Structure formats: C-alpha cells, structure tokens
Chains A and B, each alone.
Chain A
C-alpha cells in the first residue's frame, strides 16, 4: 500500500507543482499573488474539451492549442487587470486578482454551465488506461507515465528558459530590480506579460491533464486546486521556481500518505499542517530567501 500511496501522492503533487510554478514565477517578477491563476487552470480544461467536442480535434492537438489559449488568457489578464495597477499599492492588485478569479469562475459558469462535465467519451487516447509497468504490486498506467513525464519535461524546460535564454535573463533581472532592469534597456512590461503567458501555458497544461485524468470538469475546480498550489508555492519559498516544484510534490505526497495512514477526513488539513510546520521552522520556505522588509517603491 505504501508504494501505491506514494504513486498517488506523486501524481497529485506533480499537478500541484505545475500550478504552483505559475504562482511563484509571477510573484517573482511582480510580487503579486495572482489568485486568478487557478481559474486559468480551469479554463485550460474547458478549452480542451471545447476544442475536442466542437472542433473535433484529436487529444494532443487540443492539448497544445489549449496551452496556447491559456497563455493568451494569462497575457490578457496582465494587460487588462494588472498592468494599469502596476504602480498602485500592492493591495489594490491583490484585490483585483481576487476579483478576476470570481469573474472568470462565473464567466465559465455562463459559457459552459455549472453541471460537472466529462471529457467527451473516447477522445482521450485509449492506451492511456493500459498498464505500462508493474512494480511491487503497483500498476502504473500510461497516463501516469504521461503525467510524470510531462511534468518533468516542462519543469526542466522551464529551468532552461529561466537559466539559459536571454529572455530568462531578462526575467531574472526584472525580478531583482525593475528600475535597474529598465535602465539597461529591458522592456519591463513586456517581460512581465510574457511571464504571465508562460505561467498560463503551464497552468493550462495542468488543467487539461487533470480534466482528462479525473474526467470531470466544473467551473469552480480552479479554486481548491489554486489554494493548494499556492500553499505549495509558499512551502517551497514563494518566488523560487525549484521551491515551487518541490513544494508541490511534497504537499501531494503528504496528502496521500496522510489520508492513507492517518485520517482521510483531515486529508486537506494534513497537507496544510505540513505547510504551516515548514513555514514555522523555515519562515522563508524551503528555497526562499529571507528579505528584510525595506521601504522601497510601494
């Protein structure tokens, strides 16, 4: 049972990690908790289902198109809701984020209805449900491997983008000091908008995977997932990309093992308790840097 629970935890954790990275990247560059990020994840799932059932696209094409649409949604979110508030107090942007979250949830309810929706029957590749490997009595389906693999590839890819590309360098520069970055000729607003696009694409990918894996989509699905992923990002040290990845996986495993060995009723409580304990012991989170509160451009 331990191995099975570990696998369960890693699957949930991988998905948390993908959403958490979005929170942490955006926090890194604009110091904003983008509460609407969970809704981008929800939109990703609904976009995929719409592309499949209305346009008749195959699963993988819908997956990629849905990621692209979520990237655009992320950019729109920044341009419409956050850019006008770039120089206002942080609280204003935070409240706007909450407002956008509620707005997108209700928009989805109007467009797709409030009833839970399944993925259209037979559109998820059939071999996904077949067993790929068995070890220690645990069956891993191709879908499990797909989720593991995709999470891993995206995480490595993301790290490469941030560490090796010019654009990644610009992102890090903006994260460190916006004014200095602007002085060296970086278009700060554009870098921020692209960061939102990247976060949106990852969130959308997580949404499609969850929608297809659990086969149920509903407009409020982003709320719980968003809160969990936010906890994961805080656990890992908000602003740190590897921290968010590790935080997500840790939270998922804690949740699965907690539900399996302690009490299933307190499953969510257990994962949050883990977060709280880590924050008490290491206030900046696992990978975060402790920054003294200074009176800078607020």
Chain B
C-alpha cells in the first residue's frame, strides 16, 4: 500500500523535476536559486512554517536591497515531510537542477542524513539550520554545514547544567523516540549524566505517531524518577506530558530543541507546565541584533520568533554573504563556507557568531526556557 503511494510520489517528483529543469534554464541567467528543504506538510509542518517564515524575511531583505551583486535571489521549496525517503526524493530533485546553487536544510536529522550522500555526489553545498545529530558532519564529507549546536553538546548540557543545577534533581527517566535525532541526544545525555553523577532510572523508547504512551510511562514511573526527559519532538512530547500527569507524575519535565513549539503547549495544555527546554536561540537573551530581528519577525510573521526561524534567517544570510564573494557556483560556495573557520572570519548574525570546524559544525551556546502558566518564558 505504501509502495503504491511511493510510486505516485516518485512519478510526480520526476514530472516536476522535468518541468522545473526546463523553466530553470531560462531563468538561471538573472536569478540565484537556493533550495529550502523542510517538512512543509505532515505532522511536523509547523516546523516547516518556522523555516519558511525565517528565510522569507531574509529573502525580502536581500531582494529589497537589490539582491546579491544585482541578481535577485529565488527560493525553491522542497517538502521532505521529515521522512528519510521523501528527503531522498527532494535531494535528488535539487541535485539534478543545475540552477540551484545551494540548499538550506534539511530540518530533521534523519532527513539530512538521508539526503546528504546525494548532495555529496552532486557537489551541493548544504547548510542546515536545525539538524543537530552529531554524525551528519562525517556523512557530509565537507559539503555539510550547520549553524546550530550538535546533540553531543546539547545532551551533555542538559545532563550537566540543566538537570543538577536548574532543576536540582538527581534521578531521571529517559523516554526517547526511535530516530536519529533522539537516539543521538539520548546517548550524549547518558554520557553526560555519568560524568555529572545523575542516576538514569529507566530508558524507554516509542515510535513516532504513537498516541498511547501509558505502558512505557507506567514502567518508567515504577522506578520513581524525579524528572522525565522528553527526548523527541513536540507532537508526541505533548501527549507524553499529559499522560504522565494522568499517571500521577508531578515532577519537572525537560527536553531539547525538538519540543520547542507553541503547539506543545496548545496540545498538552496544563500538563506542560514545568517543562524545561534547551534552545539555540532565545529572543529575550539575544543581543541587540537579535532583539531587532525578533521585532521585525513579529511584524512580518505575526507571531513571536522561535529559534528555528532565527537560525533559518541566518542560514540564508550566510549563503548570501558567501555568494556575494564567490559568485553562484556550487564548488566555490562550499569553499567560501569552509573559509568561515575562525572567530575573525565568522558570520555575525542574529543568533550570534557562526563559524565552522572542518566537519561543518559550529560552537554555539544553549539557552534554557521553560513553560510557566501556559507560556514559554526564559528559565530562571
């Protein structure tokens, strides 16, 4: 049944590839085309919305200022549904379209991992605003960059700083989703917990799109943890929060960037109070450039800025700066990105200074926010 659907998708994708391929040769002369890959439909469509809002704001700024060296920038959207197999289709489409010179994306680590080998073969420079899985740097073979921290850092930060210092807890249960992002995050959290002397009372897994988590939660709660680690994305996180409260758990919950979405509170309701999150960007804690960005984002998008939009905004900014120097050529753009390799050469954006190591990773601080009375506020 799924296969039938796939054939349809691939068929459609091929048709689109042909159509886009033909139109792009005509338009390539006067525009610079950049691919943006995210889940724009499906369960994580709200994340795609965030990316779209962020890059669109930057796009408007670039084109209003006359484009890059007089050439207008044009974005090409690729919907990967956060699914590895769809990401492969999107990646192949972007790689085959010679007019696309760089890609912002993908959003989910699993999707980036699936598309990266295609980009490497085609020599397509890629910069992800959000994929935090540590292993992508190796798969990227020099073509992958990101302006967010990795889960190596995030997981350890949660274990060493957030849990013992902010929450003041010593016993933690881990509930993770079975995907690349959450497994990487869980592993680094466990490593950090060992160093920080945090006791992990239980580790359970779930599969995406599950609605009932009570069997696993029941098992986790019998070990009497003081806090629960929601290691996954917000649609499931919100349900887990609700069901944990129904099973009588009143302690704090905590998670990482995957939980950070207004839908988490909207679906989970009161149960989400007392949830702590690490995020790569927090408007309230950002510098003057970040504050100004938060203001203009609210005016253009009509909602408060989130970290994904901020990172996506900077991703396009980084590409624009590099392309202005190197011209629209895939290989030269890659070299230009790789040359942003020290504090002196790094890109100063709204999310702070970004510069890459040889695997395309960047060192960025984590911020902590929490849910209080149904709202996200900076954690104190």
Q: Which residues on A are within 8 Å of B, measured CB to CB? A: 1, 4-5, 8-9, 11-12, 35, 98, 102, 109, 113-118, 121, 129, 139, 141, 210, 214-216, 218, 220-221, 224, 255-260, 263-265, 267-268
Residue-wise interface mask of B (194-212) relative to A, using a CB-CB cutoff of 8 A (1 in contact, 0 not)? 0000000000111101111
Bound complex: CA A254 to CA B243 (Å): 20
Bound complex: CA A267 to CA B235 (Å): 19
**Which A residues lie within 8 Å of B209 (CB)?**
220-221, 224
- Which listed residue (B45, B215, B267, B268) contacts A267, Cβ 8 A? B215
B41 at interface (Cβ–Cβ under 8 A)?
A: yes
Are A214 and B212 interface neighbours, CB within 8 A?
Answer: yes
Pull 13 A–B residue pairs with CB atoms less than 8 Å apart, ordered by A. A5-B215, A8-B212, A114-B42, A210-B211, A215-B242, A218-B43, A218-B235, A220-B209, A224-B209, A258-B215, A260-B215, A260-B219, A265-B207
Are B215 and A255 interface neighbours, CB within 8 A?
Answer: yes
- Which listed residue (A35, A216, A255, A268) contacts B235, Cβ 8 A? A216
Residues 204-259 of B contacting A (Cβ, < 8 Å): 204-207, 209-212, 214-216, 218-219, 222, 235, 238-239, 242-243, 246-248
Are B238 and A264 interface neighbours, CB within 8 A?
Answer: no
Chain B residues with a Cβ closer than 8 Å to the other chain, count = 36
Closest to B245 in A: A129
**Which A residues lie within 8 Å of B263 (CB)?**
115-116
- Of A115, A218, A260, chain B has the most CB atoms within 10 Å of the CB of A115
Are B205 and A1 interface neighbours, CB within 8 A?
Answer: no
**Which B residues lie within 8 Å of A218 (CB)?**
43, 235
Bound complex: CA A121 to CA B265 (Å): 12
Are B246 and A129 interface neighbours, CB within 8 A?
Answer: yes
- Which listed residue (A5, A113, A116) contacts B267, Cβ 8 A? A116
Are A118 and B248 interface neighbours, CB within 8 A?
Answer: no
B303 at interface (Cβ–Cβ under 8 A)?
A: no
**Which A residues lie within 8 Å of B121 (CB)?**
none
Q: Which residues on B are within 8 Å of A, measured CB to CB? A: 1, 4-5, 41-43, 45-46, 178, 204-207, 209-212, 214-216, 218-219, 222, 235, 238-239, 242-243, 246-248, 263, 266-269
Q: Answer whether A5 and B218 are a contact pair too, CB < 8 Å, given A115-B263, A129-B246, A218-B43.
A: yes
**Which B residues lie within 8 Å of A9 (CB)?**
215
Bound complex: CA A154 to CA B284 (Å): 54
Closest to B4 in A: A98
Are A215 and B269 interface neighbours, CB within 8 A?
Answer: yes
Are B215 and A115 interface neighbours, CB within 8 A?
Answer: no
Distance (Å) between the CB of B273 and the closest chain A CB? 14
**Which A residues lie within 8 Å of B218 (CB)?**
1, 4-5, 8, 260
**Which B residues lie within 8 Å of A224 (CB)?**
209-210
Distance (Å) between the CB of A137 and the closest chain B CB? 10
**Which B residues lie within 8 Å of A268 (CB)?**
207
**Which A residues lie within 8 Å of B238 (CB)?**
116, 216
**Which A residues lie within 8 Å of B243 (CB)?**
214
Are B41 and A109 interface neighbours, CB within 8 A?
Answer: yes
- Which listed residue (B1, B248, B267) contacts A139, Cβ 8 A? B248
Distance (Å) between the CB of B5 and the closest chain A CB? 7
